[in-house]
Structure 1
Amino acid sequence: MIGRLIMVAAAFGALLLGRQALQRRKMPRIRDAGPSQMRDPPRTWDQVDEASDESFPASDPPATY
């Protein structure tokens, strides 16, 4: 019984420490898709560009290919 209680307490402590570590980590700023959200938008923009931009950083290609 006491061993089980110690295991639960240890798991709860590890959960709290992991959560605090995630909160301290700085998340990168991610922009919305589309040329209007770009700092330096391209002069031309077509459907392939839009699909590619919307799918980034996913590893799957856009469905329009």
Structure 2
Amino acid sequence: MPLWPLAVIAGAIGYGLGRWRRVREERGAAVPAAFTAPAGAAGGFAQVRDAGPAAARDEDAARWDRVDESSDESFPASDPPAY
């Protein structure tokens, strides 16, 4: 039995896995969760966002009240504001 069919199959599998991995990494580098577009470099060490509804990714920022905003500003502190 010739070995070239096995080499072709192995090459196709290797190419497919490499392509799948590259696409998966590109999708993960888009915008980190809960961050707006200028959140810093994806994959960087300091992935933080500014506090407040303007920096949130979700579109319901108009519904934030004083408690929501204070809680967001205090994160990740261990003691949230007492309202």
Given the two structures, how large is their TM-score scaled by the length of structure 1?
Answer: 0.51
* Cα separation, 2, equivalents of 1:44 and 1:34: 12
Q: Does 1:49 align with 2:65?
A: no
Instruction: State the identity %.
Output: 62
Map Cα deviations across residues 3-39 of structure 1 (whole Å, 9 max, x no partner).
xxxxxxxxxxxxxxxxxxxxxxx51410000111011
**Distance in structure 2 (CA, Å) of the matches to 1:41 and 1:60:** 27
Q: CA RMSD in A?
A: 1.6
Aligned residues: 39
Match of 2:52 among 18, 34, 51: 34
Task: Give the TM-score of the pair, scaled to structure 2.
Answer: 0.41
Listed as ranges, the gaps of 5+ residues in structure 2 are: 1-43
Equivalent AA in structure 1 for residue 64 of structure 2 = W
In structure 1, runs of 5+ residues without a counterpart are: 1-25
